[in-house]
Amino acid sequence: MYRKLLVITAAILTSSLFTKIVAQQKSLQKWTADNGNGTYKNPILWGDWPDPDIIRVDDDFYFISTSMHYVPGCPILHSKDLVNWEMAGYAVDHYTEDERYNMKGGNMYLRGSWAATIRHHNGLFYVGFCTPSWDKEKGNFSICTAKNIKGPWTRTIFPEYLYDPGLLFDDDGKVYVVHGQGKLYVTELAANALSTVGGPKQIWSNPIEKPQGSTAPYDRYGMEGSHVYKINGYYYITCPAGGTEGWQVCLRSKNIYGPYEQKIIVQDETSYPGNGLHQGGMVQLKDSTWWFVIMQDRGAIGRVPHLEPVAWKDGWPMIGENGNGKGVATHKKPIQGNKNKIVPATTDEFTKTQLGLQWQWNHNPDNASWSLTERKGHMRLHASLATDLTTARNTLTQRVQGPYSEATVELDVTGLKDGDIAGFGIFQSPYAYIAVRKKGAENNLIMVNNGTVIDSITHFSPKKIWLKATATDKGFEGNFFYSTDGKNFKQFGNVLKMALGYDWTANRFALLHFSMTQNGVGGYADFNWFRFQGINE
């Protein structure tokens, strides 16, 4: 009996599940801001988490970010110490207001959630965001509410368009949104924050002069990305100015409608020369200290958040060590005691029946055409008709990360039909990928760079293939590799020069499957796992 138990145990240890667990443990290395000695380093997340806003609810911190056309939208992170973060959920599960979110009659690239604001009031979480239309002069504004940060969320779409909103629940029971680009406005909301009371009132129109030492190309700027606070009788509005090279401005007044005075509270490009710290939100801790989460553009990798201390000087929240207006590279953690390093999930073995929170679809998914249960332990993507990758539904994505990241997938192409293209790559504009393309009864291996087939192998017989993509912030290059045994990889095709053709939306790793002929619709591709590697320097 003992020998039989040993045999059974050995069988379990050599099972595919055990192999997955071991592989997953080996692939967890990635950027972490926690230095493990009571200090942290910036950025706190080396990936695309743009336009941050932040709140504290008792001992918990919540951070919300822009997600553009990716679904679900309005990603929300959770932390206990402002340094270690994990995904909590999303405020928007899909977009209902336009069929182009379903890739019908066009697309909605760059349209979705912009510059979200998050607040907690009387037991409810509130998330507000704007959705610009194609001409950027129109769009809509939404408020989402939930009792639990994980949802379910209820979305209310307003007829008004409130650009880059900042939500405030005042201490007298009134509710306001500060919004606008260049010119700033205040719009009062009803007590439940689900409708407006009256129209917008302009509170600011003066351009901001470029601070000394800035590399920004123009001398004067308007503001956007407002967040608003009521502190010691003053209304404070924090706004970025200067764009990618920019800085952070603070306005203050005793009256929500002004007049406002102004001050630049941080102007620093040293951590990524040429790109300034700008746009974000601040939060007060239980010990009464204040901290600011603020983003910095880092090209095709994305807009990354920094955690900065705040020192109050003459009634102004000045960012940096002792309020010197400069960002910190390393600093003592705001809250000590947590020894567990936590980062948002990346690697996925597809062993669960629910999609991991690290994933977002390119536009609304067709939920009838993907499954985590049809083949246990796999993400199955069924093909839909598309002209190329940019018009394909059910492209599954997650962030590339800096300063270097690589991801590998195992793909079974047994279920492909004539016209199917299934593979893995990096998505933006431009994009690139390696895929198996089925033509008649034959499979070909192709490398595509922005719609052009760069390299191919005909009569490609393996039914299982391993594909790898890498990304770096040094030159913003993506490289692509394939393997037929999962061990020995060959570089294939050419280098993707990662860029931001879809403005302000970072590059992403992408699992893809679509068909360029009606014959392929209904074919399927099985992804056994996605494994992520990064560096922490």
Question: Of 69, 175, 184, which is closest to residue 126 (Cα–Cα)?
Answer: 175
The DSSP result for 368-420, as a single string, is GGEESTTTTTSEEEE--B-SSGGG-S--EEEE--SSEEEEEEEEE-TT--TTE
Pseudo-torsion of CA 187, 190, 191, 193, nearest 10°?
-70
Q: How far is CA 327 from CA 237, 244, 466, in A?
A: 20, 16, 42
1 CB-near residues (< 8 Å, 6+ apart): none
Strand partners, 231: 234
Residue 93 is a catalytic residue: no
Q: The tokens 């280098």 sit on which residue?
A: 495
**Continuous segment of H or E residues that includes residue 17:** helix 16-26
In DSSP terms, 77 is beta-bridged to 63, 87
Q: Annotate 301-359 with DSSP letters as a single string.
A: G-EEEEEEEEEEETTEEEESGGG-S---SEEE-SS------------B---SSS--TT-
First to last CA, the chain: 51
Alpha-carbon gap, residue 18 to 408, rounded angstroms = 18
CA distance linking residue 222 with residue 307, whole number of Å: 25
Strand partners, 363: none
CB atoms within 10 A of CB 155: 20
Which one of the listed residues 34, 48, 51, 412 is annotated catalytic? 51
Which is catalytic among the residues 164, 224, 406, 420? 224
Residue 287 a catalytic site member: no
User: 265 is written with which tokens?
Assistant: 């509270």
Phi, psi of 151 (to 5 degrees): 95, -175
Torsion, Cα 467 473 476 482, to 10 degrees, reads -10
Output the six-digit token pair for 81: 């110490």
Torsion angles phi and psi, residue 291, rounded to 5: -140, 150
The SS3 of residue 152 is coil
Question: How does DSSP assign 437-456, residue by residue?
Answer: EEETTEEEEEEEETTEEEEE
Buried b (16+ CB within 10 A) or exposed e, 225-239: bbbbbeeeeebbbbb
What amino acid positions are annotated as catalytic residues? 51, 224
